[in-house]
Structure 1
Amino acid sequence: MDLTLEHHDVRTNGLRLHVVQCGPADGPLVLLLHGFPEYWETWHKQLPALVAAGYRVWAPDQRGYNLSDKPRGIRNYTIPVLAADVIELIDAAGRQQAHIISHDWGAIVSWYLAAQYPERLASTTIINVPHPAAEARNLWRVPTQMLHSWYMVFFQLPWLPEQWFKRRNWWVARRLLAGTAHPGTFRPEEVERYVAAWAQPRAITSMINWYRGLRYSGRLQWPRIKGPLQVIWGKKDIFLKARMAELSMQQCDNGQLHFFPEATHWVHLEEPKAVNDLLLKFMAASPPATT
């Protein structure tokens, strides 16, 4: 198996996105969409399995992250804009459809893509993020979730969240990784690469702007999701309650839910073999359109 990682700059939606590509050039396309505070390398335990199965994999640093462009202004980070980046990546690959695998904020964008662009997605995999409309509509049914979502309000403040993250050599951000995952999930050298990504010029502000952009995203439309979609969920996520995953299934006509009782928010890193098996089985059942 050739796991050569190709680093490319791809023009999309008026920006330059750094995209790591691997796998056979003619294989079905898989896009891996990371979340906060990640970058493309969060998928390093998925890449070998996907390539071995014959997929062409694109793992971008999403806008505002690591080596990709970081436009100024909060309105450049609304959900429709972020979704347009993904659609144009599929276009740039010369494909009609792609499989989407997504975690955290990448999964929020993927929920929107699955609702608004079903014809461009062969399948959608969501990891540890509920359907936004289901979350908003049913938050009162999970009152403890409001307490666990305090950071979303805090991130709306100007400049203070950035300083909070940077202080003491990124101590808070480091804890956001190590303190929310099982011990050993992030090796010290991996954490240092994350720190290097956060320290890129304007990166931390651009990353937090994904949260700030929510207030400029408008009243988004969330039609029912008809295409194949699976949710993979670590039940020991300290931020998001598993009940929200169950409620999210009510938004899907063709949805599957897989719980990992002992995994955290970082289930794709903690249980890679089982997660990869689910990914490959699910995608094999929904091959992308070729025309």
Structure 2
Amino acid sequence: MNTTGIAGPRWRRRTWTIGAAVLTALMVLVAACGDSTDGAEQDISATAECDAEPVILTTEDGVEFVRTPDSCFEDLPDFPFEPNYVEIDGLRQAYVDEGPADGEVVLLLHGQPSWSYLYRDMIPVFADAGYRVIAMDHLGMGRSDKPIDIEDYSYVGHADRLERFIEDLGLTDINVFVQDWGSLIGLKVAGENPDLFATIAVGDGALQPVPEGIELFPPVANPNEIVDIPSRFAAMPAQQVPFYDGCEPIFGGLGEGYFGDWMVYAMTAESFHASEVVEAMTWFDLTPEEEAAYDAPFPSRTYMAGPRVFPSLVNQLGGNTIEAWNGLTSFEKPFLTLWASNDPGQLGACETQQQLIDNIPGAAGQPHDRLPEASHFLQDDQGTEIANRLVDWYDNLDEEPAGATQGEERVGYELLQIQDDGTIWAWIANDMTQAQFDALELPSGWLKNQPREGVPDASQFNGSPGNDGVLLEEEHFGFKWFHSATVRPMIGSLDDEGLIRASTVEKDHEIGFDPGSTLSLLVSPSGEIYVMVSRDAGRTTDDPTLPAEWEIVEHVVPNGFTAVLSGETTVIRMDNEDSYQGPVTGLDLEASSAAGVRLGVVDTALMADLAASDDDGPF
């Protein structure tokens, strides 16, 4: 346990009557330690009963706070982790610290009204994989100290404490995962301090660039009033119903005013409890013991100022997120989004996830996903799955293809295997050199596809055809290959002159282009768009030949672009061996200032007979 020395705050009674257990503890303490206030505050939280009257402590700066008794956290299901503390401005910040001390750091940031218990299924996965995993409790949450006045909480204050926390623990090269308010806090710190972070992963979160002076919602009129408000969460079934069909809301969404209502409910409702919110916003039913664990930090309303005020901090975003957002739009290190498929709030919308993907350079080509059977608190629903995906993601980022150095063209090596049904399987190797590829001696039924230079800035194969989203890897000819695509028989000509010939390819492939990139696009007479994916490494000309009515357009993407090629994709090979694939969507050619270039026409076929040649291939 990495507990630091804590200076003792002053304390006073919440009422004139103190619980018997607290009084007894204080009497023992005085006998043992005399006038030491340091021992007093430690003993109060360590020995008090969970249902004892709250004891109000005070920092040197006059901030009154309470500290949840340790007894409230006894016997939590699946959470055997010891607490650690660091003091920031006289208030303890609690955190879990597991795994090897010298391991790469994974930092987990929760939202509201949860705490680090939300990460109970993820922490062991990271620790077992050799990472040092740290799950922090925000001020007012979990085992951290809890100021009792809502005025002692602020959005910038939470972010500043996170920066201090990182500094005090000496954390660098951080792999951070953030969700809910953990994203608004964590992404602010990451956007303003990008050098501290190696990767960023977000689940159902955002950072909205709000101009200064903007207040997004009416403030709660009487924040200290306790009101009997019927709970909308209590009406939701324990086993959550589907809210989405793909990206389309089934019930029309929660409505524009729901967050303002949520601010009022969290701040004033007598019935507000953390467990009912987490229960309602998870796909799977929580056990009674798990519900009690989410409520453990808050044995009475005195402890709840933090979760009560959190939603209202949205009105403090104005002017405090612009710098961070600008930093994120220049963040080129890996950035991943893993979303719940059934979060009914705004953070769960496809548009919210896509805004991050479209605007953050490091998101290009990453394996973004929406997880089934998961709602807003997706760490509770799919924690093990998320952690395993992140570990795999980190590991894949560490693997550099052999034979390639920074600044060189990225050349891929591909074999084509003819199947009995007439299809062709494409296999790609990431661990060989040009000389090794040239030296391969292949049996009948195997062909070499000429080395290809990858045009995109990022490329991600999410799975092999017919393999349930998993890459099929096999060893052939002494090297490791993965099945990237299955090529169907040629679909014939796409134009009246017989010049644009193509194949249908089944694959699950995402290709990304950095912000400011210029895409080479092949545009059909009907407006279908195909993007250049690769070029012949040994090409002798950059000028392909086109039939009438077809165009090649150079198109700039200021915010970057990710082409999703999933399922059946049309692959076109030009006469100069440039490869275009699609059709793709999401590009506004009319908005481009670049003019289309129509080239001349030559009578040439796209692909030669694969069985008779080792020069041609579908990619």
Name the TM tier (shorter chain). 0.7 to 0.9
Residues 1:242 and 2:343 aligned together: no
State the Cα RMSD in Å. Answer: 2.9
Superposed CA deviations along residues 18-59 of structure 1, whole A, max 9, x for unmatched, are 112111111112211111111111000001110011111221
Once the 2 structures are TM-superposed, how far is the Cα of residue 126 of structure 1 from its aligned partner?
A: 0.8
Letter in 1 for 2:291: V
Contact 2:108 2:177 in 1 (8 A): yes
Once the 2 structures are TM-superposed, how far is the Cα of residue 60 of structure 1 from its aligned partner?
A: 1.6
Determine which of 363, 371, 394 is the counterpart of 1:260. 371
Once the 2 structures are TM-superposed, how far is the Cα of residue 215 of structure 1 from its aligned partner?
A: 2.2
Name 1:198's counterpart in structure 2.
298
- Count, aligned residues: 272
Distance 1:42 1:76, change over 3 A: same
Determine which of 336, 349, 362 is the counterpart of 1:230. 336
Name 2:279's counterpart in structure 1.
178
Once the 2 structures are TM-superposed, how far is the Cα of residue 173 of structure 1 from its aligned partner?
A: 4.3
Unaligned runs of 5+ in 2: 1-78, 211-215, 217-247, 399-619
Instruction: Describe the SS at the equivalent of 1:21.
Output: strand
Name 1:274's counterpart in structure 2.
385
Structure of higher CA gyration radius: 2
Task: Answer 1 or 2: which has greater strand percent.
Answer: 2
Instruction: Describe the SS at the equivalent of 1:197.
Output: coil
Instruction: Describe the SS at the equivalent of 2:391.
Output: helix
Query: Equivalents in 2 of 1:106, 1:47: separation in Å?
Result: 16
Contact 2:96 2:136 in 1 (8 A): yes
Instruction: Describe the SS at the equivalent of 1:270.
Output: helix
Map 1:112-131 → 2, pairs under 5 A: 112-131=188-207
Name 2:143's counterpart in structure 1.
67
Name 2:108's counterpart in structure 1.
32
Moved more, 247-256 or 198-207: 198-207
Question: Of the two structures, which has the highest relative contact order with CA contacts closer than 8 Å and spacing of 6 or more?
Answer: 1
Distance 1:225 1:5, change over 3 A: farther
Instruction: Describe the SS at the equivalent of 1:133.
Output: coil
Name 2:259's counterpart in structure 1.
152
TM-score (norm 1): 0.81
Once the 2 structures are TM-superposed, how far is the Cα of residue 10 of structure 1 from its aligned partner?
A: 0.9
Contact 2:180 2:206 in 1 (8 A): no
Unaligned runs of 5+ in 1: none
Instruction: Describe the SS at the equivalent of 2:375.
Output: coil
Contact 1:75 1:213 in 2 (8 A): no
TM-score (norm 2): 0.40
Determine which of 149, 152, 161 is the counterpart of 2:266. 161
Superposed CA deviations along residues 211-262 of structure 1, whole A, max 9, x for unmatched, are 2223234313120141322111011112132222112212200114221144
Superposed CA deviations along residues 78-128 of structure 1, whole A, max 9, x for unmatched, are 333222222222222223332111221112212222321111111111111
Name 1:21's counterpart in structure 2.
97
Residues 1:189 and 2:296 aligned together: no
Contact 1:87 1:120 in 2 (8 A): no
Distance 1:73 1:174, change over 3 A: closer
Name 1:52's counterpart in structure 2.
128
Contact 1:45 1:272 in 2 (8 A): yes
Query: Equivalents in 2 of 1:156, 1:183: separation in Å?
Result: 25
Instruction: Describe the SS at the equivalent of 1:198.
Output: coil
Distance 1:75 1:217, change over 3 A: farther
Query: Equivalents in 2 of 1:77, 1:145: separation in Å?
Result: 34
Instruction: Describe the SS at the equivalent of 2:297.
Output: helix
Letter in 2 for 1:177: V
Instruction: Describe the SS at the equivalent of 1:271.
Output: helix
Contact 1:236 1:265 in 2 (8 A): yes
Once the 2 structures are TM-superposed, how far is the Cα of residue 67 of structure 1 from its aligned partner?
A: 2.1
Contact 1:74 1:212 in 2 (8 A): no
Once the 2 structures are TM-superposed, how far is the Cα of residue 270 of structure 1 from its aligned partner?
A: 2.1
Query: Equivalents in 2 of 1:92, 1:278: separation in Å?
Result: 29
Instruction: Describe the SS at the equivalent of 1:92.
Output: helix
Distance 1:35 1:279, change over 3 A: same
Moved more, 63-72 or 119-128: 63-72
Name 1:251's counterpart in structure 2.
359
Query: Equivalents in 2 of 1:161, 1:81: separation in Å?
Result: 20
